[in-house]
Amino acid sequence: MSNAIHYINKNHAELKATEHASIPEQAIDVVVGTVLDKVNLLKALDKALSFPNYFAHNWDSAWDCLTDSDAEHLRLDFSEVQQINTEDFNVFKSMIEDAYRDFGRPQLWVVG
């Protein structure tokens, strides 16, 4: 299991029963809305991390902007998500894991 991505049950997150399962207070919310896909993930990252104007709304550009940011912790809440493009979500998770492996950040907290 990766140290970059943590999956937390919503009830468990609210209880914060263990230190390793607690979401850091400084975690930045990545809000995707009801559809989790490439377009919404990239828009949400852009908004959450205030990417620069040259962000090209593709995975490579997201990688560049993400690794240039100071983001240490991200929180992705699935409470409103009704539809998931699993291929896009897997690419997003791979990007987070690669960034964490190369730069030691960010960590992603997936709450569902």
pLDDT per position as a tens digit, 13-60: 444 444 445 899 999 999 999 999 999 999 999 999 999 999 999 999
Question: Distances in Å between the alpha carbon of 77 and those of 23, 52, 101?
Answer: 11, 24, 23
Determine contact, residues 45/88, Cβ cutoff 8 Å: no
The pLDDT score that the predictor gives to residue 22 is 82
The pLDDT score that the predictor gives to residue 15 is 45
The pLDDT score that the predictor gives to residue 6 is 95
Single pTM value for the model: 0.87
The pLDDT score that the predictor gives to residue 11 is 62
Domain 5-111: give its CATH architecture: 2-Layer Sandwich (3.30)
Residue with the bigger pLDDT between 11 and 92: it is 92
- Domain locations in the chain as residue ranges: 5-111
Cis peptide before 106, with omega less than 30 degrees from 0?
Answer: yes
